[in-house]
Amino acid sequence: MIAYRNADRRFPFLWEDSAQPPERWHGAGEGPAQYLSDTPNGAWAEFLRHEEIRDATDVPTVNRAIWAVEIGDPSMSVPRLPAADLRGDPSSYARCRSEARRLRSQGARALEAPSAALVPGAARGWRVDGGVVGAEPRDGKTIVLWGRRPEVEGWPVVMEAAPDESLLPAVRHFGAAP
């Protein structure tokens, strides 16, 4: 399975220690937790959401790397939470972290959840059929791998890039309805 990771180009594409700042699926000192997306647009949307980039004039100032990461075929746990928590703003993170702790206590090493950063249907790709046309809409996914993952291989897709500003309407920004 290939997943995508948006990263600061000055650093490795995965975290290696517990100094990682807390996020939705891990608390302080519970890292590393590797957050990936099932599409490049999902990886970009996560960055845009967390940086609260809403204005198209801000997009060209972004300079990030996108990595294609071969994660194998990990057994994925699925959180049991309402959509409002799975896609919510930081006020929902405590409930997500609690659920992640429950899953890890049962032996989970990976999680798959709906993308909180993409609006429904925005993970669609493209096809060539008389020109480039949009593929069928599909929902994006977030993949979290807990722990160090030295066996995981990654390839830089781009090392200095910005998303296309056309992605902005597909981002579920903080404060938007889940």
Q: CB–CB of 5/14 below 8 Å?
A: yes
- Range 23-32 average pLDDT: 96
pLDDT of residue 176 exceeding 90, the answer is no
pLDDT of residue 148: 96
pLDDT of residue 77 exceeding 80, the answer is yes
Closest CA to 35 of 117, 91, 133: 117
pLDDT of residue 108: 97
pLDDT of residue 177 exceeding 80, the answer is no
Q: How confident is the model over 91-113, as pLDDT tens digits? A: 999 999 999 999 999 999 999 99
Which has more confidence, 177 or 17? Answer: 17
> pLDDT above 70 covers what percent of the chain?
99
pLDDT of residue 43 exceeding 90, the answer is yes
Q: How confident is the model over 117-139, as pLDDT tens digits? A: 999 999 999 999 999 999 999 99
pLDDT of residue 162: 94
- Rounded to a whole number of angstroms, the distance between the first and last alpha carbons of the chain is 27
- Range 15-41 average pLDDT: 95
Q: Please confirm whether the linkage preceding 60 is cis (ω < 30° from 0).
A: no
Tell whether the torsion through CA atoms of 3, 25, 173 and 80 is positive or negative: positive
Averaged pLDDT of the chain: 95
Beta strands of the chain (E only): which ranges?
2-7, 33-37, 64-70, 110-114, 126-128, 132-134, 141-146, 153-161
- Mention every residue, 6+ apart, whose C-beta is less than 8 A from residue 68: 2, 3, 4, 154, 155, 157
